Amino acid sequence: MEYLEIPVLSNEFVRLEPLRHEHTSDLSQAVRVGELWKTWYTRIPSPAGMDEEIQRRLDLHQDGTMVPFAVIEPSSGRAVGMTTYMAISEEHRRLEIGSTWLSRSVQHTSINPAMKLLMLQRAFEDLECLRVEFRTHWFNHQSRAAIAKLGAKQDGVLRQHEVLSNGTVRDTVIFSIVAGEWPAVMFNLESRLGLTDSLHRSRQNNSQVVS
C-alpha cells in the first residue's frame, strides 16, 4: 500500500498534493493559457473535461494503478498542472512518472525540475524503486529534451505503439533512471535549482570518510 499513498511533497519551488475535485477551477484556468489541450501529440484535458479527468485519475488510484498529484505554485497557491506515478509494480520495485502537464505560464521555470526532484527522491529513497520510467511521444521534442536533461537514459522506441484519438499513431520513446544513477541525477537537479547546501554537505561527508 505504501506505493499507493499520496503524501504532500514540497520544497521552496513547488508543492505536490493529492489531486482533488477542488482543483478543477484552478486547473481549468491553467490549461486555458495557450489552449494547451489542443496540443496534438499529447493528452491534456480541456477546461470542460477537467473534472472528468480528475475523476478518471482518482478511479485509477482506487484500482491501484495510479497515484495522482496536483502541482501547486507556492507563490500563488494555485494548481498549475497535474502529474502522477503510474504503471506501478511494487513487486518489481518500479513505476513510471507520467500523465504530466504544466500550464504554459510555468513552463521553463524551476517548477518542473523541482517536482521531478521530489518525485524521484520519494521513488528511490522512500519506496526503494530499482527503476523509474518516463514515456513520451516521438514528436514531443520539448518533453524528450526535458527528460534527457534530468539525466534519464533513452532505452528505446516502441514503434506504432498507440492509436491516438485524432487517428494518428504514436511512436513511444522510453527513458529510465535506475537506482544506481539516482545520486548523480539528484546532484544534477539540485545544482540546476541552486540547492548547493546539500552538495556541500555531501562533499564534506565524503571528505571525512576518505580521511
Give me the tens of pLDDT residue by residue for the chain, a chain 211 residues long. Answer: 699 999 999 999 999 999 999 999 999 999 999 999 999 899 999 999 999 999 999 999 999 999 999 999 999 999 999 999 999 999 999 999 999 999 999 999 999 999 999 999 999 999 999 999 999 999 999 999 999 999 999 999 999 999 998 899 999 999 999 999 999 999 999 999 998 665 445 444 443 443 3
Q: What is the pLDDT of residues 60-87, one digit of tens each?
A: 999 999 999 999 999 999 999 999 999 9
Q: What is residue 175's predicted lDDT score, i.e. its pLDDT?
A: 98
Please list the helix, strand and coil fractions of the chain in percent, rounded to the nearest 5, in that order.
40, 30, 30
Q: What pTM did the predictor assign?
A: 0.90
Query: In 14-25, which positions are buried (b, 16+ CB within 10 angstroms) versus exposed (e)?
Result: bbbbebeeebbe
Q: What is residue 195's predicted lDDT score, i.e. its pLDDT?
A: 87
Domain boundaries, the chain: 2-210
Q: What is residue 177's predicted lDDT score, i.e. its pLDDT?
A: 98
Domain 2-210 matching CATH 3.40.630.30: the answer reads yes
Q: What is residue 208's predicted lDDT score, i.e. its pLDDT?
A: 43
Q: What is the CA radius of gyration of the chain?
A: 17
Cβ atoms of residues 118 and 11 within 8 Å: yes
